[in-house]
Amino acid sequence: ILNVEQSPQSLHVQEGDSTNFTCSFPSSNFYALHWYRWETAKSPEALFVMTLNGDEKKKGRISATLNTKEGYSYLYIKGSQPEDSATYLCALTNDYKLSFGAGTTVTVRA
């Protein structure tokens, strides 16, 4: 099992503010890092799959960066909206399996 840590465990952000949080992982034998968004009462859905050091990916107001040498990825939410409230999961894979972190739960206050 790969040790994937996410911090903080939860955060509150005011509507319109930007925020970011971290996923840390062992830097050896890296293959790919996944980010998923899990809204309450819904299924987790994929945001990004990142494979290259220095990768930056963007989907709307959400973006992610990857540093495989130091073993971390940041997820950024720009101009947070209530619909961004969710638990954000990162997962590491170095074979056919994903190892998930416990998630960062984001609550956007109107």
Partner 1 sequence: DGGITQSPKYLFRKEGQNVTLSCEQNLNHDAMYWYRQDPGQGLRLIYYSQIVNDFQKGDIAEGYSVSREKKESFPLTVTSAQKNPTAFYLCASSPSAGVSYEQYFGPGTRLTVT
Residues that bind partner 1 (CB under 8 A): 1, 4, 31-32, 34, 36, 42-46, 49, 51, 89, 91, 93-103
The nearer residue to partner 1, 83 or 96, going by C-beta atoms, is: 96
The nearer residue to partner 1, 80 or 91, going by C-beta atoms, is: 91
The nearer residue to partner 1, 16 or 54, going by C-beta atoms, is: 54
* Residues whose CB is less than 8 angstroms from the CB of residue 101 and which lie 6 or more positions away in sequence, other chains included: 4, 5, 6, 23, 89, 90, 91
Using the structure block, give the residue that is written with the tokens 């939410």.
77
Q: In the numeric block, which tokens belong to residue 58?
A: 């963007």
Closest CA to 94 of 48, 50, 34, 31: 31
The nearer residue to partner 1, 64 or 91, going by C-beta atoms, is: 91
* In the complex, least distance from residue 34 CB atom to partner 1, rounded to whole angstroms: 6
* In the complex, least distance from residue 83 CB atom to partner 1, rounded to whole angstroms: 19
* In the complex, least distance from residue 22 CB atom to partner 1, rounded to whole angstroms: 15
> Which residue type does 89 have?
L
Contact 33, 66 (CB under 8 A): yes
